[in-house]
Chain A
Amino acid sequence: MKRPPPAWIAVAVYVLALLAGAQVRVATAEQQQPAALGGAVPTPAPFPSPVATAQGAASPAPRAVPTAPTGRRLAAFAVVARRIAFYSNRYVMEADGDVAITLGDGTRITGKTFFYDLRLNRFVIAGGVRLAAAGREIDGAAFAEYFDFDRAYFVPVLSQPDRWTFASGDYAHPLFGREQPGDTFFLPDLSGERVFLYARRAVVDPHQSVRFTPASIDLGPVYVPFPSYFLSYSPNEYFAQNALPGAFVDGPLDFAGGEHGLATAHVRYDSVDHVFPALELHQVGENHYLVVAANTLTRPLKTYNLEAYDRITPGLQFTAFLQETAFGHGFSQPLSATAFASYQMTAALPHSFLQLGDVQYYQSLLARPSTMSGGTYYYGDPSHNFVPDHPNTVSLTWVGFRHPLNGLPISFQLRSSFGATDDSLTPLQTLGGVTYTKEYYKSVGINLTTKTFTLLADRSGRHRELYFTGTVDKQRQYFSLPHHVDTTIATVSLTKVFNPQVTLLTNYSNVNTGDFYGAQQVLAYPPGASYFDFYTGKTLILSPGFRGFGTTRSFAQSLVWTPSQVFTSLITMRENRDFPKPLPGALQLVGDGLGFVNYGASPEQLDLDVRYRFTRVLVIDVERSYFFNFGGFERWTPQFSVQVEK
């Protein structure tokens, strides 16, 4: 292989050619690829600017600076400026006045104006730019860094402007004149956008987070100063996992974090506890997360939640949810404390999967108190009586994949489970004078679903079809007591699309549940029996005619109106016919909000759901239901939420 000429010969020829007035095309490292592959090309001097050499008297010579240490060039970088503004609606950071950027490898760029698009992970700095890298300083008009492509683009000003491209952080070997992307130095138009925060310094971890210090944050009418603000925008979806219970209004403030962690303070409001603070901590990895939350910290009843997930292998995962509630003033000895724990291990099998689950409830985490009144023990206040119950359920479930039935437009899915429930302190059930503290059960179930049939096709191509779908779900659960529970659910749905904005849905379902005790049926369901609701603490009187067999028929009609991408609305009217007669329940926290846990459905129910997206980060979602003819419990559900998205 022919040995390429030394670099100094090339430079000398280049200079002579320029002095002679010739227009010389600079041979770039890329163009010299064959020689470079030979590994025999010596490293030329940094910034081998031919013009600067040729017309040294006319242009300032590059100034030497201490050689920047080699570091993680594409890792975190710092921005300092007289003013940094962050536009949360556009995920763009803007800096003005004496802007100084320090990259991970020590490369330093200064200029007047800076823009960084957090999602595209690229920045541009413009106006009186000075680049200090590879032991040299050089002035220019603008500099752009595309982290994801490991390319930097520079407009240097020597005797004349030029266009340089740096590949892979090789500042010593610019690619002279290489064509640059058309929008390299595009400055975003942010007029009309509201600034979420102002800061003086920002440390950016690309694709992960930004820490702003000090931060003045937009809280509506005013910008409130904070020592710092930590913005996490990681592509890892586990950061979005939420362990806090629901609230009407939730205002999160991330204050610390990193690539694998995030700490968030919340100011929340609901109708029970009003305004209160909460705290949530995330620890995430590529295949796991751990979220810890403390809620209602300034109220006597505090809630502590923990959610954990680990994908141990691609076919094996573990999830856990732990909750402790403690009633106490401040953080002193609580008067009562309960806990709930749920663990689940899922293993993928060929055409099916297995789930091993364990659910435990600790009625009291406290030791038995010495105070006793009326036969019950309590701490401080008899209303917080000591209940040492500890029921526990273990189950092993097998679920098959959904398969089509040969030749029919129907698919089926099978499932089965085994399990045991016990409570050694309080018997699970007493029947015929016999107490049962432990129960075993097994179940099988099948789900049949039709494919979607197009009853009326729209030949105009405007998608105004009429669709039909039906499902039947049948399950039998055997208990060691012995008795068995049969459940059959049949559902048919019709959907009519009027136009892309308006859709009407109707749904009819019939749910039959039977608890079969055979000869002991009346013994198990005596007339006028009462049932103690574990959650609400209330005793419910069952319907006199109830013998363990119930039916609910439900007819629902929904109108979906989506006039635009920012506004959607859903109105649902339901008619329910229950046997036994439904019993209104109490208000309590369920899911992500407060709700009434009713036994049975109200005869008529109206659901309204309106959602409007004001900006990319602000969504108002109003979701309420009204119960009609509900035994004097006609009322609105309290669901209402204001959502602020990051």
Chain B
Amino acid sequence: MIELVRRAYALIMFVALLLATTGPFASPPVAAAAIPTPLEPAVMETPPPLSATATPSPSGQLVKYSGQILDYSGGFVFFTTGDAFRLDPAVKLDDAATGGPTKLLPETRTYARASFDSGSGAVVELALSQKKLPDEASYDDVKRFAVSLSTPYANPDLAPGEGFNGKGVPVTFLVEVPPKTPFADQIYLATDASGWSATAVRMDRVDALHYRVTRTFASGTKLLYRYTRGSWQSADVDQNGIATKPRLLVVKNADYRVVRDIVYNWQDEDPFAPDNGSTLPTPFNPVPFPIPPHR
């Protein structure tokens, strides 16, 4: 009995497999050179509604995908994903907003909503626009239609776990300044991303010795930065009296990051002259020229 059930199960599975590969549930045969092997099983969960103007092949449904055109030539439309999609010989060009005729040309930078015939994999309609169009199908739904001579293979440069995902990471810079920092002075971040402007990012005071600012950077960002009091004459100096080299921040994949730094001295700080300003006009000033007259 058990053997009979086992054979019946095998027969059912064989028939199912046969139907899946040759029957009406299978993808239609296409030229081997034109359509590459699909990267994922070609299964549409919920076919979108049919377009009013475009007509798919009897075996296909319409799949609509919006993107920006990279090029349009040689019977293909290329999107900024880098994918090439075959154009149906009777492809229709129309206006994305009205559905009627359009004066726009399918050229580089134009936005388009492409209607794919899921049966042939060809684009049967291109609705053009100068503005970005809302997504209707995901890229995963249409990438199986992309035409490529070579079989795609993994790029070791893009191996997961070794790179950056590019997501925004809030980074808080918390800096401790030297006790002789003038009370009313502002502290700034000067970065290579802001042309090394000495007043690029103003920091918020936390207390008498600490300042803080939070900025969001994409993971993978490399940022060189220094602290200033608003000019390069008042930039940070290392503990050993030598001008600080720019600090390097590499933003790694994270939800949040805190960077703690210490500024030991300022470049314009006279280490042996306490900040008594000009409160006392002594007849003999032991440091006759603390400030250049025209600086």
Contacts and interface: CB of A to CB of B under 8 A. Distances in A.
Contacts of A177: 148-153
Nearest to A178: B155
Interface in A579-613: 583, 585, 588-592, 597-601, 607, 609, 611
B157 A475 contact: no
Contacts of B46: none
A160 B179 CA distance: 69
Interface stretch (B5-13, B16-24, B120-128, B207-215): B207-215
Given A184-B82, A237-B196, A25 B151 contact: yes
Contacts of B289: 340, 342, 359, 361, 391, 393
Nearest to A525: B283
Contacts of A452: 207-210
Interface stretch (B52-60, B73-81, B89-97, B253-261): B73-81
B193 to A, nearest CB: 7
B284 interface: yes
Interface in A272-309: 303, 305, 309
Contact of B179 (A348, A429, A447): A447
Interface in B112-144: 132
Nearest to A401: B239
Contacts of A428: 284
Nearest to A151: B157
A489 B275 contact: yes
Contacts of A142: 70-71, 78, 82
Contacts of B280: 513, 515, 550
13 contacts: A25-B151, A142-B71, A149-B157, A161-B149, A181-B155, A314-B242, A317-B241, A402-B264, A415-B271, A415-B272, A452-B208, A515-B282, A565-B215
Interface of B: 32-34, 37, 68, 70-71, 73-74, 76, 78, 80-82, 84, 107-109, 132, 147-158, 179-180, 183-184, 186, 190, 192-200, 202, 204-210, 215, 224, 226, 230-233, 239-243, 246, 264-265, 271-272, 274-284, 286-289, 291-295
B294 A497 contact: no
A98 B180 CA distance: 59
Interface string A415-434: 11101010000001100000
A159 interface: yes
A507 interface: yes
A355 B68 contact: no
Contacts of A186: 80
Interface string A502-515: 01010101010101
A583 B281 contact: yes
Contact of B70 (A155, A397, A533): A155
Interface of B, secondary structure class, is loop
Interface in A90-146: 112-113, 119, 126-129, 141-142
Interface string A177-205: 11111101111010000000000000000
A467 B32 CA distance: 73
B271 A346 contact: no
Nearest to A500: B204
A162 B294 contact: no
Given A315-B240, A397-B272, A447-B179, 15 more contacts: A51-B33, A157-B74, A161-B149, A179-B155, A235-B246, A303-B294, A314-B242, A342-B292, A348-B242, A359-B288, A495-B208, A503-B204, A531-B281, A531-B283, A560-B204
Interface string A307-342: 001010011110001010100000000000000101
A18 to B, nearest CB: 8
Contacts of B265: 399
B113 to A, nearest CB: 17
A233 B195 CA distance: 6
Interface string A212-244: 000000000000000000000101010111100
Nearest to A560: B205
Nearest to B268: A591
Contacts of B192: 235, 237
B31 to A, nearest CB: 10
A540 B274 contact: no
A645 interface: yes
A185 B243 contact: no
B179 A325 contact: no
Contacts of A41: none
Most chain B CB inside 10 Å of its own CB: which residue of A176, A185, A477, A600: A185
Most chain B CB inside 10 Å of its own CB: which residue of A55, A189, A237, A621: A237
B84 A141 contact: yes
A170 interface: no
A572 interface: yes
Contacts of A340: 289, 292-293
B283 A524 contact: yes
B71 A129 contact: yes
Contacts of A364: none
Contact of B292 (A141, A179, A323, A471): A323
Contacts of A646: 195, 197
Nearest to A313: B242
A534 interface: yes
Given A126-B70, A240-B196, A163 B224 contact: no
Nearest to A568: B202
A397 B271 contact: yes
B241 A399 contact: yes
Given A23-B32, A157-B73, A315 B153 contact: no
A533 B73 CA distance: 79
B207 A467 contact: yes
A240 B195 contact: yes
Contacts of B80: 185-187
Contacts of A429: 283-284
A61 interface: no
A245 interface: yes
Q: Please name the 5 residue pairs, one residue from A and one from B, whose CB atoms are nearest each other, closest first.
A: A177-B150, A353-B241, A161-B84, A240-B196, A493-B208
Given A314-B242, A467-B208, A558-B184, A113 B109 contact: yes
Contacts of B283: 429, 524-525, 529, 531
B151 A598 contact: no
B183 A556 contact: yes
A74 interface: no
Nearest to A493: B208
Contact of A21 (B32, B152, B272): B32
A249 interface: no
Given A163-B82, A340-B292, A493-B208, A513 B70 contact: no
Given A177-B151, A645-B195, A503 B275 contact: no
Contacts of A11: none
Nearest to B132: A189
